[in-house]
Amino acid sequence: MQFRINGQTYAAEVDVRTSLLDLAREHLGLTGSKKGCDHGQCGACTMLVNGRRINSCLTLAVMHQDDEITTIEGLGAPGALNPLQAAFVKHDGFQCGYCTPGQICSATGMLDELAKGWPSHVTADLESVTFTDAEIQERMSGNLCRCSAYPNIVEAIREAAESQHLAEAAE
């Protein structure tokens, strides 16, 4: 089977039972995505599939041979962190770091959903989605952090998103 991950092509022979998460971790050496529950309950395995966030433990690798997959390794590297990753470091949006790749992939997908105007449970006016802490918190609640860096995660996402908006406004 062939996969497109982080802009690269990978070939692997895997079991039809192999999840997208286990494909990355156990077969391709991409261990940035984490396994916390294997049941879609914690969000540590979050990846981006064609730009949308997904619990990669809940989907089979075999289903994604035509997809463009992005993992944490594709967002940035030490020394070349993307703005969201850098904001997580600055605001201490993690402690043990195990949920962190999932948080950052999830936040990436979430900001895109917000930009597209998708409403959430806390959206008051479905016609006009605004960028608030409550929206961030609601939309990030599928990503558990037992170290409980939640307030710092919200600050990191807010800052990264605001700097992105500023950059876009300047263009």
Partner 1 sequence: MSDSTTLKMDVPVPASLLDAGTQGLIGRPLDRIDGPLKVAGRATYSAEYALPNLAYGFLVQAKVGRARVTGIDTAAALEMPGVLDVVIDLDTFIRNPQQGGSNKAPTQGVEEIHYFGQVVAIVVAETFEQARDAAARVHVALEDKPGLFEFDARLEEAHKPKGGSTEPHVATGDPDRALAEAPVVLDAVWTTPSQNSAAMEPHASTAVWEGDALTVYGSYQMPASDKQQLAQALGMKPNKVRIISAYVGGGFGSKLGIAPEVVAAALAARKLGRPVKTVMSRQQVFDATVRRSNTHQRIRLGAGADGRLTTVVHETVSSNIEGEEYFEPAGVSTHFLYAGENRRITHDLLPMDWLLSGSMRAPGEAAGMLALEAAMDEFAEKLGMDPVELRKINDPEQDPLKGVPFSTRQLTRCLDEGAAAFGWKDRNPTPGARREGEWLVGHGMAASARSNHLQESQARVSIGADGRATVETDMTDIGTGTYTILAQITGELLGLRPEWIDVRLGDTDTPPGAGSGGSWGASSSGSSVYLACEALRAKIATAMGCAEEELTLKDGRAIAQNRSVPLSSLVGEGLSAEGTIKPGKLEEERRQASYGAHFCEVRVNAVTGEVRVNRFVSTFAAGRILNEKTARSQCIGGIVFGIGAALTEELVHDPRSGRVVNHDLAEYHVPVNADVPHIEVHFLPERDQFANPLQSKGLGELGISGAGAAVANAIYNATGVRIRDYPLTLDKLLPGLPTV
For partner 1 (CB under 8 A), the number of binding residues is 64
CB of 111 to partner 1, least distance (A): 15
Dist CA 162 CA 149 (whole Å): 20
Reported for 166-169, long-range contacts at CB under 8 A and 24+ positions apart, including other chains, are none
Identified binder of partner 1 from the candidate list 145, 159, 160, 161, rule CB under 8 A: 145
Dist CA 96 CA 134 (whole Å): 25
Judge whether 48 and 105 are in contact, CB under 8 Å. Answer: yes
Is 152 near partner 1 (CB under 8 A)?
yes
Strands (E), 12-159: 46-49, 52-55, 68-70
For the chain, the C-alpha Rg in angstroms (whole number) is 16
CB of 170 to partner 1, least distance (A): 25
Beta carbons within 8 Å of 125's beta carbon, 6+ residues apart: none
Identified binder of partner 1 from the candidate list 3, 20, 34, 114, rule CB under 8 A: 34
Dist CA 13 CA 62 (whole Å): 10
Dist CA 1 CA 14 (whole Å): 8
Is 50 near partner 1 (CB under 8 A)?
no
Identified binder of partner 1 from the candidate list 54, 111, 149, 160, rule CB under 8 A: 149
Structure tokens at 51: 């730009």
Is 7 near partner 1 (CB under 8 A)?
no
Is 63 near partner 1 (CB under 8 A)?
no
Is 44 near partner 1 (CB under 8 A)?
yes
Enumerate residues 74-113 that contact partner 1 by CB under 8 A.
75-79, 81, 85-86, 88-90, 92, 94-101, 104
Residues of this chain that bind partner 1 (CB under 8 A): 15, 17-18, 22, 25-26, 29-39, 41-42, 44, 71-73, 75-79, 81, 85-86, 88-90, 92, 94-101, 104, 122, 134, 136-138, 140-154
